């Protein structure tokens, strides 16, 4: 090979590498955006039917755009995280093997394919107006989402 051919190959590799570096988001995983909403109390009857006083807010639902196979779900008060590196989790679920792909769930309810991290521990109730952080792990993707528990005067 001549010097000219080696230089051309080297220049092509450098330009190609710079182009891949500039467009590396093509190879990155999609960003997952979590939406939080309050399911109106009284819909569907049963566990979430409207109480006699009508003062209880409905349950909090978390949703995202595509199905995820969740490995862990954790909810921790933000105030506890700010003061303690190992804050107490008020809800912690794990998947031993394969969880069922899901596009969302309601706080405190059974998530198919998952179980409480500590046996026979129920999720603690959310304190109205308090800020919480939801931690999700799905494969190698780790997601954090802050939300505020609804107060009784919110719709």
**What is the per-residue pLDDT across 43-87, written as a single tens digit (0 to 9) for each?**
544 444 444 444 455 789 999 988 889 999 999 999 998 888 888
Q: Say if pTM beats, i.e. exceeds, 0.85.
A: no
Q: Are residues 113 and 151 in contact, defined by beta-carbon separation less than 8 angstroms?
A: no
Residue in 154, 31, 44 with CA at minimum distance from that of residue 109: 44
pLDDT at residue 120 in the model = 86
Residues contacting 119, CB < 8 A, separation 6+:
none
Contacts of the segment 1-5: beta carbons below 8 A, 24+ positions apart = none
Alpha-helical (H) ranges within 30-104 are: 78-83
């Amino acid at each position: 090979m001549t010097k000219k051919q080696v230089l051309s190959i080297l220049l092509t590799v450098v330009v190609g590498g710079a182009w891949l570096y500039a467009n590396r988001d093509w190879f990155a995983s999609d960003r997952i955006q979590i939406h939080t909403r309050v399911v109106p109390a009284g819909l569907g009857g049963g566990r979430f039917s409207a109480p006699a006083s009508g003062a209880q807010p409905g349950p909090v639902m978390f949703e995202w755009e595509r199905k995820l196979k969740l490995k862990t779900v954790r909810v921790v008060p933000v105030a506890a995280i700010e003061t303690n590196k190992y804050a107490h989790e008020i809800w912690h679920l794990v998947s031993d093997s394969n969880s069922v792909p899901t596009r969302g769930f309601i706080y405190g309810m059974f998530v198919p394919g998952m179980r409480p991290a500590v046996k026979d521990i129920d999720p603690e109730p959310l304190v109205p107006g308090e800020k919480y952080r939801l931690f999700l792990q799905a494969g190698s993707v780790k997601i954090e989402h802050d939300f505020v528990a609804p107060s009784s005067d919110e719709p």
